Structure 1
């Protein structure tokens, strides 16, 4: 198990280039199974979860060729379905949350699929009902047998288009059902579909492969099934969660940072939410410039009520940035209520921030009130452990703003979502040692 040793109080200055979007990558990579033709993908982030998925695709028989620093060519012309029966597949797929999205392409092209219960963050219950209810609506037969080693087994020999209303606007659930539907017979309509930029990117890629998807960007997708798909070339978006993390980092450490090539129109309300914390920023073309700020003040609602930041389906605020907003508010002037609706364990990392000196009231598993310190009291360095990707980076931001030295254990969680984060931050003035 690796750790970060962070010397706090360093002000950073320079440019940061966001990596490719992690959440988009996991969907796009699974989609290569939909065709026997080569697919070229650019701006793939070199992070643990993505590298594990690429490795898993290679084990399945997909030809994987690295053609650039962040570009790969994939060709799924000789997929070995017998591999799904092996213990190696079970171990690798169970360790990766994104492996569940292999099912949709498997069902569409090979008419069957098999997946163990996937792992991932320890942030509360992350049910798979949306995925399987959608598959069943398309005509797939689903079976889970605990005596068969805990596998989900799906027979999709008669996939037919249908109308469905998803029980929740799940991003991965929508992506999985969408990939299964593109080669189902007839027309499928998916209502209450997630419409995040990741889904829009996936839909655009599938359409470039010959799929017929309309309603892209809305919560009603219409898919006219086709018999086969062809190869394509696709470039992924920059990671909006990393961009938001860098904005919070700049504010907390009083640093002057330019975030390059952000594709700002795709960020939705993310910049505005950080502006509501009092963080100044300038859009310079497609770059975001954050000046060094000694203080920043949280806005109040028009009636004087306490500002609340809550997650909601896109175009609402993404839950993956609530941990970053929370830690950024620690040194703001004012009070902020964080309402994490989706996951019941995602706020439990605040006990580490409290140990560092933050004034936070954990109201219940879903809500926390942050009373900003306004730089009157600095945080102090402590030893802590990263429970999940986003909390890990929030703790890293806190440690970089604190007095003294901090150690963060279990940084494998951070590596799952942030590429070489220590090297990139050290290049602009941080002092982070990987132990």
Structure 2
């Protein structure tokens, strides 16, 4: 188990480029299973979750080749469908949440698929009902085993059949899975209350280039006319909006002057506005974001004078993956804010580590925390802590970088799952982070 030793109080300066989007990569990589032709993908982040998925595709028989830095080609010609039903696959897939999005492509192309209970962050309930019910709406049979540890799905004779569905939640992975199943189903599929995040838009645009017929992209109403065959394509992934947001918050919290390069600003949605509400100001320079050194930053109130609330919501609302960053950044703001994590009931439980560091936080319940900012009048104290999940891990890293003294963060493999060489990239800007294996 690796740890970070972090010496706080080291302001950073310089330029940093965000990695390719983790959440997009997990969808796009599963989509290569839809065609026997070559698919080339650029800007793939070199992070644990993504590399594990590429390795898993290789074990299923997909030909994978690294063709450049962050670029891979894939050819799913001789896919071993039976491997999905093996104990080895179950062990590998159960460590990786994104593996669940193999179900849709495998059902569409091969008519059957299996998936163990997927892994990933332990941040609360992460049910698969939306995925399974969507497949059932396309005619698939669902056959869980006795202890529900393996989800087995089979298409009807003649293949999946398009249909209408109203999703019970605008699940990003659920929508992606259903879309990948529907693109080769017979007839028309209509998906209402579909997720419409930029990463889902990217998946749909890639599928259209492969020959799929999808309309309504970027809306919550998708219409798909099934086709018999999909071909190869080339795809470049967006920069990771979660990393962009993490760097904005990190710059303000540590009083650093940073330029974030090539952020795809138009795909950041409400993220810049929410940081503005936190009193964090920056300049858009072309497709870059320049964050000046902030001696302090003041949280806005609502127009009626009530306390600012920052909450997650389906796109174009604020992504839940950034709430941990907003929470930690608020600890050194002027003013107070209510952080409302609606989606996952265990994601705020890392705040006890921040309280130990001297932060003023009231955990109201599993979904809400009130933060009273120090306005940089009182520094957080360095301490020893453990990263519970990817996003809480980077929030704790931000706290440690702004704290007085030295902090130790254990279980940094969680951070590595979502952030590529984070210590090396930040040290190049002036941070003091030492990795101890």
- Pairwise TM-score range, normalised by the shorter structure: over 0.9
Per-residue deviation, residues 278-329 of structure 1 (Å, max 9, x unmatched): 0110000000000001100000001101000000000001000000000000
Aligned to 1:93: 93
Partners of 2:335 and 2:143 lie apart in 1 by: 52
Aligned to 1:137: 137
How far apart are residue 262 of structure 1 and its match? 0.4
Aligned to 1:299: 300
- Indicate yes or no: 2:51 matched with 1:47: no
Partners of 2:149 and 2:132 lie apart in 1 by: 15
Partners of 1:272 and 1:254 lie apart in 2 by: 20
Note the residue ranges of structure 2 that are not aligned, 5 or more in a row.
Answer: none
Aligned to 2:218: 217
How far apart are residue 143 of structure 1 and its match? 1.0
Aligned to 1:200: 201
Partners of 1:226 and 1:183 lie apart in 2 by: 5
How far apart are residue 88 of structure 1 and its match? 1.4
Partners of 1:349 and 1:258 lie apart in 2 by: 29
Per-residue deviation, residues 153-210 of structure 1 (Å, max 9, x unmatched): 0011331000000000000000000000000000000000000001100000000000
Partners of 1:145 and 1:376 lie apart in 2 by: 57
Partners of 2:407 and 2:110 lie apart in 1 by: 50
SS of the residue aligned with 1:423? helix
- How many residues get paired? 434
Alignment of structure 1 residues 348-363 onto 2, 5 Å? 348-363=349-364
- Indicate yes or no: 2:391 matched with 1:390: yes
Alignment of structure 1 residues 322-401 onto 2, 5 Å? 322-401=323-402
- Indicate yes or no: 2:179 matched with 1:178: yes
Partners of 1:15 and 1:208 lie apart in 2 by: 34
Aligned to 2:10: 10
- Indicate yes or no: 2:281 matched with 1:309: no
Partners of 1:222 and 1:355 lie apart in 2 by: 51
Partners of 2:230 and 2:152 lie apart in 1 by: 24
Aligned to 2:66: 66
The TM-score normalised by the length of structure 2 is 0.99
- Indicate yes or no: 2:152 matched with 1:153: yes
Note the residue ranges of structure 1 that are not aligned, 5 or more in a row.
Answer: none
How far apart are residue 86 of structure 1 and its match? 2.2
How far apart are residue 410 of structure 1 and its match? 0.7
Aligned to 1:290: 291
SS of the residue aligned with 2:281? coil
- Indicate yes or no: 2:422 matched with 1:434: no
Aligned to 2:81: 81
Per-residue deviation, residues 44-72 of structure 1 (Å, max 9, x unmatched): 00000000000000000000000001000
How far apart are residue 146 of structure 1 and its match? 3.0
Partners of 2:17 and 2:289 lie apart in 1 by: 11
Aligned to 1:165: 166
Runs of 4+ in 1 over 2 A off after TM superposition: none
Per-residue deviation, residues 3-22 of structure 1 (Å, max 9, x unmatched): 11100000000111000000
SS of the residue aligned with 1:316? coil
Q: Superposition RMSD on alpha carbons, in Å?
A: 0.7
The TM-score normalised by the length of structure 1 is 0.99
SS of the residue aligned with 1:146? coil
- Indicate yes or no: 2:257 matched with 1:256: yes
Partners of 1:53 and 1:366 lie apart in 2 by: 31
Partners of 2:250 and 2:166 lie apart in 1 by: 39
